């Protein structure tokens, strides 16, 4: 098949007027322009299919990033390096997976693309596909032994990437393939207001009071103004008075943001408005500093009720 592709390219070169000698269009430009005919001519006339630009990007990577299977076939037939790496470590497979181009991913894998390349941050094609919700690409990569449990330099794995954008189906597929979720993945899901993923993780056994970077899931749900997620976390046992690493509580965050609805939710569930952060500030003071009058009124009525 590859020989036939090259033969076709040679015929095209013979029949097509193209001023390659004068350098009017480079192979990289032709790929970027989506000009498959020009790619065929340039390849047939000896263009370097593995030439890199100043970021280390090859024509194959460019074609993969747009899912152009026709150009990928031409470049692979001309011996393009399927596992070449850009300056930051990504490969053509990484680009195709990130874009969700299943046909391109399958073609690259069929041509011996490494299913587990890591960029300089330790990220893999599987993580890229999981982040962007490309379930079919995730399954294709797993079928070729992509490492479901591989971690990046921050410790996040493919599950972390999936829950960050709320991809329930991918979370399930990854766990079925042996990927391990972590308690702190609940924090990631909560920050993104992904209530269904939070529910899915808690059903799997994730602890709702786990922290990530010193902040609990409830705090991050409030920080992102996610009332539904916060309600679920509280119902699942989240500590409404848990402090972040700087001593702030979810109530302080809601008060400072002027979110009266969230303040009331937390107060109704037992949040303590008298708690202080490391600087001695209470939730009421956060409301005052932000001139959040509606929130201050809630605190005033709560204090009067205690008398």
Q: What is the pTM of this model?
A: 0.86
Say if residue 101 is in the same domain as residue 127.
no
Instruction: For residue 40, tell me if it sits in a domain.
Output: yes
Of 139, 156, 179, the one marking the end of a domain is 179
Say if residue 110 is in the same domain as residue 130.
no
Say if residue 97 is in the same domain as residue 130.
no
Of 114, 139, 158, the one marking the end of a domain is 114
Listed residue (74, 70, 68, 64) closest to 9, CA to CA: 74
Say if residue 162 is in the same domain as residue 55.
no
Q: Domain of residue 80: give its range.
A: 1-114
Instruction: For residue 13, tell me if it sits in a domain.
Output: yes
Say if residue 102 is in the same domain as residue 42.
yes
Instruction: For residue 226, tell me if it sits in a domain.
Output: no
Instruction: For residue 11, tell me if it sits in a domain.
Output: yes
With H, G, I as helix, E, B as strand and everything else as coil, classify residue 282.
coil
CA distances from 269 to 230, 234, 262, 264 (A): 11, 8, 11, 9
**What is the b/e burial string over 145-173, where b = at least 16 CB atoms within 10 angstroms of the residue's CB?**
ebbbebbbeeebbbbbbbbbbbbbebbeb
Cβ neighbours of residue 176 under 8 Å, at least 6 residues apart?
none
Say if residue 166 is in the same domain as residue 108.
no
pLDDT at 53: 95
Asked whether the beta carbons of 135 and 173 are under 8 A apart, the reply is yes
Instruction: For residue 127, tell me if it sits in a domain.
Output: yes
Cβ neighbours of residue 37 under 8 Å, at least 6 residues apart?
12, 16
Read off the pLDDT of residues 60-116 as tens digits, 9 standing for 90 and up.
Answer: 999 999 999 999 999 999 999 999 999 999 999 999 999 999 999 999 999 999 999
Say if residue 1 is in the same domain as residue 108.
yes
Instruction: For residue 82, tell me if it sits in a domain.
Output: yes
Read off the pLDDT of residues 283-297 as tens digits, 9 standing for 90 and up.
Answer: 999 999 999 999 999
Say if residue 96 is in the same domain as residue 159.
no
Say if residue 55 is in the same domain as residue 87.
yes
Integer Cα distance of 84 and 56 in angstroms: 9
Asked whether the beta carbons of 102 and 130 are under 8 A apart, the reply is no
Say if residue 100 is in the same domain as residue 154.
no
Instruction: For residue 227, tell me if it sits in a domain.
Output: no
Pair of tokens at residue 268:
């109704």
Say if residue 12 is in the same domain as residue 61.
yes
Of 77, 97, 114, the one marking the end of a domain is 114
- H helix intervals, the chain: 2-15, 27-32, 36-44, 59-65, 69-77, 92-99, 102-110, 125-131, 135-143, 158-164, 168-176, 185-191, 195-204, 217-223, 227-235, 250-257, 260-268, 283-289, 293-306
Instruction: For residue 72, tell me if it sits in a domain.
Output: yes
pLDDT in tens, the chain (307 residues): 444 343 334 334 333 444 444 456 899 999 999 999 999 999 999 999 999 999 999 999 999 999 999 999 999 999 999 999 999 999 999 999 999 999 999 999 999 999 999 999 999 999 999 999 999 999 999 999 999 999 999 999 999 999 999 999 999 999 999 999 999 999 999 999 999 999 999 999 999 999 999 999 999 999 999 999 999 999 999 999 999 999 999 999 999 999 999 999 999 999 999 999 999 999 999 999 999 999 999 999 998 888 7
Integer Cα distance of 99 and 111 in angstroms: 19
What's the DSSP call for residue 20? Answer: T
pLDDT at 23: 52
Integer Cα distance of 99 and 197 in angstroms: 23
pLDDT at 304: 85
Domain total of the chain: 2
Say if residue 128 is in the same domain as residue 70.
no
CATH number of domain containing 165: 1.25.40.20
């Amino acid at each position: 098949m590859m020989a036939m592709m090259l033969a076709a390219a040679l015929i095209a070169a013979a029949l097509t007027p193209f001023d390659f000698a004068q350098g009017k269009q480079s192979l990289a430009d032709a790929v970027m322009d989506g000009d498959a005919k020009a790619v065929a001519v340039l390849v047939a006339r000896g263009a370097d299919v593995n030439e890199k630009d100043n970021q280390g990007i090859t024509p194959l990577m460019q074609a993969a990033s747009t899912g152009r299977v026709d150009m990928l076939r031409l470049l692979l037939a001309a011996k393009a390096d399927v596992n070449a790496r850009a300056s930051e470590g990504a490969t053509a497979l990484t680009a195709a997976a990130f874009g969700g181009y299943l046909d391109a991913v399958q073609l690259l894998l069929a041509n011996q693309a490494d299913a587990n390349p890591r960029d300089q941050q330790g990220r893999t094609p599987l993580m890229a596909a999981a982040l962007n919700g490309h379930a079919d690409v995730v399954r294709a990569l797993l079928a070729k032994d992509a490492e479901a449990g591989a971690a990046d330099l921050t410790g996040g794995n493919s599950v972390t990437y999936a829950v960050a954008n709320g991809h329930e189906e991918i979370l399930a597929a990854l766990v079925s393939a042996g990927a391990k979720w972590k308690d702190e993945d609940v924090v990631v899901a909560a920050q993104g207001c992904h209530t269904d993923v939070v529910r899915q993780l808690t059903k799997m056994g994730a602890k709702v009071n786990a922290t990530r970077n010193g902040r609990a899931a409830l705090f991050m749900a409030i920080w992102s103004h996610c009332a539904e997620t916060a309600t679920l976390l509280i119902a699942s046992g989240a500590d409404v008075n848990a402090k972040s690493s700087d001593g702030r509580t979810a109530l302080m965050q809601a008060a400072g943001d002027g979110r009266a609805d969230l303040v009331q939710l937390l107060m109704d569930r037992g949040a303590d408005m008298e708690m202080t952060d490391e600087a001695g500030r209470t939730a009421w003071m956060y409301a005052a500093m932000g001139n959040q009058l509606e929130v201050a009124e809630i605190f005033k009525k709560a204090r009067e009720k205690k008398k």
